[in-house]
Structure 1
């Protein structure tokens, strides 16, 4: 009896250990890029970091980039060529808060560099291979991907995001009706300016970029309007902002599709049927 009890206890412990390991494998992991060194310029440090401890990155895992936002940022670029030559001219995404959490939502190679080309050339770039683990749930797409595409407006029309006039962008925005699903394109010289989406009227009035909702600085930024309400955009260049390089737009809810009554379908009658119907109009109807 004692032997049977010990065997049962051993089997139970092994089952629990197996369950614990398998459960742990299903949980997304969070990796701080560079560990204690963070996101900085050091030759081959990120290649070695990704290889250390045989790291495996899975769909659903997250990367945390920590750095000084005054001298650096994180640009996710689309391919190995852009990664190799530190080309950030067409990034998939740009992060610049100094503490960026990037969730890996798709399998394949992912490439990250800094737009500071000198630092990128010194080694501030990261390549990771992301694999899909069928035991893990795939994270849902961001809400903006679920929105229907609306109208797209180039901010400032032909003048772009470059006008230093206190009333120019105010008048430009008031002439249009924006709805959820619409997009704004900001075009400008990214070496002289940028686009900060900020949270409130006070930050807008005082040109305060310290707590942005989002930051864009590629020079050709498409911003989707995903929520109704007032949206505020400024440049972090305080002199430009105070001179008028800022935009406030009112976004209405997504317009509902017009409802049309169900009219009966048009019947395509033959020439003979139309003639017979016309002749029937001359036949006197019986009286009851």
Structure 2
């Protein structure tokens, strides 16, 4: 049947990209030409043998460790001003790890800032990001030093601030398959050498 409910395409040089599998129908809006056979039925299938390309490697991060900031004390004003400094010093953070901040958002928040001087003086002017949900998961996406403070100046001065040193992605450890690189004679020599360490039975 030469009947269409969609508006015609009339540029004279049309490129149609198939975005999903299934039957796709094309006809001429000229009823007479369509009746004479100027129509096309195309079945588009999903090629399972062709994998979907992954996103660019720069956007892929490994699933790293999740650290609950402050442990049981969470993100709150510490009793010791250097508590969060000590908390982070004995940990090895890598790209892909995440920091879980839990706190009362009626009292505190989290500002991610840049600059050591701004961190020391609790200056929020260089802020990179703001978190206020009371249960924030911040993923460390690049190596270097990351700074976190609260916008409550008094709380920050009392020690509610965190400096995290992030290392690069840990390199995967690969083991060489030496057996494939050794010829048979080398394997024989190794076996004979090892056999000298096996106690021989006494007659």
Q: Which TM-score applies when normalising by structure 1?
A: 0.42
Please state whether the residue corresponding to 2:126 is helix, strand or coil. Answer: coil
Q: Which runs of 4+ in 1 moved over 3 A?
A: none
1:211, CA displacement in angstroms? Answer: 3.2
**Pairwise CA distance, 1:206:** 1.2
User: What secondary structure, in the 3-state scheme, does the structure 2 residue paired with 1:203 have?
Assistant: helix
Q: For residues 219 and 264 of structure 1, what CA distance do their matches in structure 2 show?
A: 55
Cα separation, 1, equivalents of 2:108 and 2:125 = 16
1:147 aligns with 2:61: yes
1:159 match: 73
> Does the aligned pair in 1 maintain the 2:113–2:127 contact within 8 Å?
yes
The Cα shift of 1:263 comes to: 5.2
Residues 103-182 of structure 1 mapped to structure 2, 5 A cutoff = 146-164=60-78, 165-182=80-97
Q: Distance in 1 between matches of 2:124 and 2:133?
A: 17
Matching residue of 1:235? 150
Structure 2 portions without partners, runs of 5+: 1-9, 15-54, 181-203
The CA deviation string for residues 64-105 of structure 1, in whole angstroms up to 9 with x for no partner, is xxxxxxxxxxxxxxxxxxxxxxxxxxxxxxxxxxxxxxxxxx
Max Rg structure:
2
**Structure with the higher helix share, 1 or 2:** 1
What RMSD over aligned residues (CA atoms) do the two structures have, in Å?
2.7
Query: 2:125 aligns to what SS in structure 1?
Result: coil
Counterpart Cα distance in 1 of 2:179 and 2:74: 49
Q: For 1:251 and 1:149, how far apart are their aligned partners in 2? A: 15
Quote the offset at 1:151 in angstroms: 1.0
